[in-house]
Amino acid sequence: MALFTDILISFFLVISGVFGLVGSFGLVKLHGSMQRLHAPTKAAALGVGGVLIASMLYFLLVEGSFSFHELLITLFVFLTAPITASFIAKAFMVGNLRPEDLPETGGAYGWAVYDDPPAQDQHKDGGEK
């Protein structure tokens, strides 16, 4: 059983190292800010997740106690990495792209970064409701 535990923990550590390496390689090799954004946010989140899963398995299978902290950190990383990437992408779009340079969205609202709020949603003093 100890060999299986060591192999399982090592597997997650190696997988997380591979994701970290791919993310850092993508950050260096990809061209343009929008392409570079995807490599570290996706791969690094999976790399950190692999290390945290390996840590949870170690404490559960070797030490005999469940580590709730690593579970919370894993959930936090997996929830915040895509949101952070979205905010960075929107900031890049506003700073570097014109609305006419972007493709059509096919929806009624277009690119939300460039849309003005409707006039009925604003007070007379300029603030929103």
Q: How far apart are CA 117 and CA 9, in angstroms?
A: 51
pLDDT over 90 (residue 11): yes
Q: Work out the number of other CB atoms within 10 angstroms of the CB of residue 123.
A: 8
Q: Would residue 108 count as lying in a domain?
A: no
Stretch 7-18: mean pLDDT: 94
Is residue 117 one of the residues assigned to a domain?
no
Q: Is the dihedral of CA 67, 71, 74, 76 positive or negative?
A: negative
Domain of residue 47 covers 2-98
Residue 3 pLDDT class (50, 70, 90 cuts): very high
pLDDT tens per residue across span 88-112: 888 888 888 787 777 887 777 777 6
Please indicate, yes or no, if residue 34 is contained in any of the structural domains: yes
Domains in the chain: how many in total? Answer: 1
Within a domain: residue 61?
Answer: yes
